[in-house]
Each structure stands twice: as C-alpha cells, then as structure tokens.
Amino acid sequence: MIFCGKMRLLLRSGALVAVLLLRTSIALAQPEFHPGKIWADTAGHPIQAHGGGVLVHSNTFYWYGEDRTPGLRGGVSCYSSTNLYDWQREGVALPAESLPQIGGHATFLERPKVIFNSRTGRFVMWMHLEQGGYHLASVGIAVGGSPAGPFTFQNAFQPNGNMSRDMTLYVDDDGNAYEIYSARDNYDLRICRLSDDFLSATTNDVLIASDHREAPALFKYRSRYYLITSACTGWAPNAANYYTAGHILGPWTGHPNPCRGPNAERTFDGQSTFVLPVPGKAGALIFMADRWKPHDLPNSTYLWLPLQCEGDNLIIDWRDVWSLESFHKNHQ
C-alpha cells in the first residue's frame, strides 16, 4: 500500500510537471505566419478569402475574399481579427445568390475589395463581375452598413466603357478613392477616380501601362505610390513586376520583379492581391498573394510576406516562417 501510494504521488507529480511544461511552451510560443500553408480560422476551418483584401476599421481588421467553401456557390466571405494571426469567420458578407443575371445569364465574382466612405458612413464593395467565357468584364458594386455586412448589390457596369477584370481599390490620404483595373483584354492597366460616394467611376481615368498585366495591388509609402502586378498566364504563376509614381494618376515607371528567394521567378508560386500597411508599425507592409490550386480551389493557400521599400526599390524576400516582430515598432 505504501508503494502504491508513492507511485500515485509520482504519477501525479509527473502529470503536474507535464502540464506546467505544456503551459510554459504555450506561453513562450509566438504567433507566426506560415506562407503557403493551410491557414485555419478560429473554428479550425481553412480560411476562404481568396483574391481578397483587408479593411482596417475601429481597431479591427476585416479580411474579405472569394468564398470557395465546398458546397457554396461562391459569394464574398468576411473574417475579423485584432492581431492579424487569428481570424474569426463573420459569415458571408455578400451571398452569390444576390448577384444579378445579365442578358439572361448568371454572374460570378472575383477579387472583392471593401473600403469605407467617411462621407456617407457606408462600406462599399467593388468586385470583378463576370460570366462564363469572361466576356462581361465589368465591375459590381455593393454597399453595407457594417463591415461584416450584409452587403446589398447595387449596380454593374464597365468604367468609362472600358473592360474591367482583375481590380483593386485604394483610398488616398485625402479621402479620394480609386479603382485600379485590367482593361482591353488585360493588355492595359488603368486607374480611375471614384465618385464621392464611391458608387461610380468618374471620367478622371488614365492609362498606367500597356504591358499585359493583372492582379494589381497598390499602396503608398512616404508619399510615393507603388503598384505590384502579375503577368497574364492564367492560373500558372509568373514573375511579378511593379510600377512607381509620385502622383497617383501618374506618370508611372515600370520596374522588374521585386521577389527574392526560392521560386522568385514565379512570385513564390503565388499571385498578388493586396498590400496591407500595418497600423502602429512605421514602414510595416505585408504583401498578400494567393497560391492558386485551380483543380482544388478551396484549398488554395495564402502568401503573406514582409515587404521593404528603399526609394524606388521594392523587395519581397521569401520567409518560411515570420512574425510581426520582424517590423520595427512605431515609436512616434
């Protein structure tokens, strides 16, 4: 009996030590990004926010993208986070069922982006609206009263009569918003200022370049504008390039591939979708890209990588694992 009692004590002590070690390891573990790996939401399901972008509103990040969840038609998903590592699914911000039929045929969406209009207090979503054969080449507009939606579809059109396929949105420091889009069968990249309510395009629409590019991702750093793009090779990855300008409407200057590391000539087997400036960290920029799996789209993964600007030079280095601690904190 004495022997059994000692054994029980030792087992309990061992279990206690194991628990303490586990808790210590959890406490010491730091949140990290793992580019190219399956990224689960807080419920343990793979995040479905492909071709998307991030809105920062009221100290919360909202990640929107194409919802490729098996069994769903493919609307716009919304996830929220306060730390950029852990994402809670907020649901479907815009269901596919709310998209219009045009000419008697159904439409689908790609690359949704959401911006906030401080003048109207509304959240505005633009997307590439398309039909089979990719002949529609239009934008779709939806609005919502809260960042997680629901959004209500409003209108579909071609800005100033131009095709609009891959696209993104950008809100400048003065509150003006712009659509950057691929036009003329993707041979032209254009930028167009939006109306004050962000619901239509103005005629302030200019050509950036005629280089056969798509997947635009625009950001501003130290009063300079940068635009990352992809070549047009379908689902197959290719080398990124980028453009710079001192004014958002140009003129724009082209630059070669900013990627460095394994598979840099294929943008690490990814394609650009967005660049996220991290609030509170001076100069902290995250390059967001999709690693598409055309025969298994729900399991397409994401590449989030730190981005550096040195004058006109843009650098995206490959990292197997990294964290926000890679950036210097903003002490201003």
Structure tokens at 244: 């710079």
Query: Number of structural domains, the chain?
Result: 1
Tell me whether residue 138 is in a domain. Answer: yes
Tell me whether residue 2 is in a domain. Answer: no
pLDDT at 311: 85
Q: Over its length of 332 residues, how does the chain's per-residue pLDDT go in tens digits?
A: 443 444 444 345 444 444 333 343 333 456 999 999 999 999 999 999 999 999 999 999 999 999 999 988 789 999 999 999 999 999 999 999 999 999 999 999 999 999 999 999 999 999 999 999 999 999 999 999 999 999 999 999 999 999 999 999 999 999 999 999 999 999 999 999 999 999 999 999 999 999 999 999 999 999 999 999 999 999 999 999 999 999 999 999 999 999 999 999 999 999 999 999 999 888 899 999 999 999 999 999 999 999 999 888 999 999 999 999 988 643 33
Helices (H) then strands (E): counts for the chain? 1, 21
Tell me whether residue 128 is in a domain. Answer: yes
DSSP state of 225: E
Q: HEC string of 167-220?
A: EEEEECCCCCEEEEEEECCCCEEEEEEECCCCCCEEEEEEEEECCCEEEEEEEE
**272, 228 Cβ separation under 8 angstroms:** yes
pTM above 0.95, yes or no: no
Tell me whether residue 90 is in a domain. Answer: yes
Tell me whether residue 195 is in a domain. Answer: yes
Tell me whether residue 99 is in a domain. Answer: yes
Show the domain range for 139. 46-326
Tell me whether residue 28 is in a domain. Answer: no
Tell me whether residue 37 is in a domain. Answer: no
Which CATH number do you get for residue 306?
A: 2.115.10.20
pLDDT at 7: 40
